[in-house]
Amino acid sequence: MNDAKLTRQLETWFDANARDLPWRLAVRDPYHALVSELMLQQTQVSRVLKKYQPFIDRFPTVQSLARAPEDEVLAMWAGLGYYRRARMLHACAQAIVETHAGDVPECLQALQALPGIGRYTAGAIASMVFHQRAPIVDGNVTRVLLRLHNKPVPQTEKDTVKWAWQRATNLVEASNDPAVFNESVMELGATICTPKNIRCAQCPARSHCQAFKAGTTESIPLPKPRAKQKHMYCATVITTKAKVQGNSILLEQRPSTGMWANMYQAPTIERDDRAHTHNEVATHSGVEKETLEELGSFMHITTHRIVEFVVYRADSIRPTQNRAYRTLDSLDQVAISNAQRKAFAIAGIE
Ligand code: SF4
């Protein structure tokens, strides 16, 4: 494979075909790149597009993000999932303010030393913002590389990942512009060399592609062994109240560690190994068992968990130190998981 020729072809194709995305400015802002890269991890572009600009409008600088309360950061992240990334981005902004005077560092090692910044994100910022010859490897890049070399292996295997980083290093060294080259491979993986419905007819790398020549594109990479999902059972109790300032719902804050840490929810109990009883739900919520009305149930499925929710309504729950009524109008400024929003919808709260 002629690396110089391949990288030129990809760069030319990207210059002519790149999607117009709000974080792809002619001159990249390092802080905006940091936000977009963390949002894009394990999340589709279409979802990030809805959240990116409001987040930047609310926290326009690294300093404004660093001094924001975590609650507000989580609320602006709501809907993107994987909330650990929001906490890491927040911690990262604070570290940049404290140790780099508010400037995102240019050096790969300094970037990787920041909270939440792994090899991929450090490489993306170093190359796309600061034009350094730093490689990047994620699922899209690995899939493209495996097909170019006709390697039918699962893409998450340790040896495969190591190989992909080495190939990406060679290619970025051979490229004309590391920023354009890295984005071109990502874009190819996102739009042409996709997991399914591969569009080889439109691919700028087709003449180099060993899998295309061998007719094996559809079977590369091999599927990865499926992660075992944990089953959980939750019961959520919705209580609303008409107040002078508008209808309100009782919310409590979750613990600061574990699933949906620090986020808000209607009073909820969760069990690992068995379904809850009405008695447990009533006791946890502080209401009489007879006043509980079962409204419905739903499954919330993520990569690692299958959570079965049963939703109840109760007439009245007394606020406590950790439970308070919040107006329905203010819910879009509160950090609430998608699972809880589904529970609210069952109770007619959108
Ligand atoms: S020719 Fe097809 S399989 Fe090969 S890199 Fe291009 S899109 Fe992917």
Q: Mind listing the pLDDT tens digit for each residue in 194-239? A: 999 999 999 999 999 999 999 999 999 998 777 788 899 999 999 9
Cross-strand partners of 253: 264
Q: How far is the CA of 23 from the centre of ligand 1 (A)?
A: 26
Atom of ligand 1 nearest to the CA of 188: 7
> Would the CB of 206 count as within 6 Å of ligand 1?
yes
Of the candidates 194, 170, 186, the one whose C-alpha atom is nearest the C-alpha of residue 37 is 186
Residue 223 pLDDT: 86
Residue closest to 178 by CA, chosen among 191, 187, 169: 169
Q: What is the pLDDT of residue 304?
A: 83
Distance between CA atoms of residues 13 and 8, nearest Å: 9
Average pLDDT over residues 184-188: 95
Give the whole-angstrom CA distance, residue 35 versus residue 85: 10
Measured CA to CA in angstroms, residue 69 lies from 47, 64, 248, 299 at distances of 24, 10, 23, 31
Neighbours of 332 (CB within 10 A): 12
Residue bearing the bigger pLDDT, 284 or 125 = 125
Given a cut of 90, is residue 277 above it in pLDDT?
no
16 alpha carbon – ligand 1 mean position (Å): 18
CATH number listed for the domain at residues 3-219: 1.10.340.30
Nearest to 122 by CA among 27, 132, 345: 132
Residue 236 gets which letter from DSSP? E
Rg (CA), the chain: 24
**Is the C-beta atom of 23 inside 6 A of ligand 1?**
no
Is 241 in a helix, a strand, or coil? strand
In sequence order, the 6+-apart residues with CB closer than 8 A to the CB of 275 are 233, 308, 310
Q: How far is the CA of 147 from the centre of ligand 1 (A)?
A: 6
Q: Whose CA is nearest to atom 2 of ligand 1?
A: 200
Average pLDDT value for the chain: 91
pLDDT tens digits along 80-135: 888 889 999 999 999 999 999 999 999 999 999 999 999 999 999 999 999 999 99
Domain positions in the chain: 3-219, 230-346
Closest atom, ligand 1, to C-alpha of 205 = 6
| Catalytic residue set | 37
Phi and psi dihedrals of 317, rounded to 5? -125, 135
**Can you tell me the mean pLDDT for 38-44?**
88
Segment 159-188 mean pLDDT = 96
Residue nearest to atom 1 of ligand 1 (CA): 206
Confidence band for 27, pLDDT divided at 50, 70 and 90: confident
Residue type, 50: K
pLDDT per residue as tens digits for the range 244-256? 666 899 999 998 8
What single-letter amino acid sits at 52?
Answer: Y
6 within ligand 1 shell (Cβ under 6 A): no
Q: What is the pLDDT of residue 244?
A: 60
Element (H, E) at 240: strand 240-243
Structure tokens at 217: 């594109």
Which amino acid is present at 199? R
CB 232 within 8 A of CB 305: yes
**144 pocket-lining for ligand 1 (C-beta < 6 Å):** yes
d(CA 212, ligand 1 centre) in Å:
6
Q: How many Å apart are CA 80 and CA 137, to the nearest integer?
A: 22
**Per-residue confidence (pLDDT) for residue 42, from 0 to 100:** 80
Ligand 1 pocket, residue 192 CB under 6 Å: yes
Please give the number of the atom of ligand 1 that sits closest to the Cα of 143. Answer: 8
Ligand 1 center from residue 264 Cα (angstroms): 45
* CATH T-level fold of 230-346: Nucleoside Triphosphate Pyrophosphohydrolase (3.90.79)
User: In angstroms, rounded to a whole number, what is the distance separating the alpha carbons of residues 20 and 186?
Assistant: 14
pLDDT for residue 110: 95
Is residue 221 reached through a cis peptide bond, with omega within 30 degrees of 0 on the bond before it?
yes
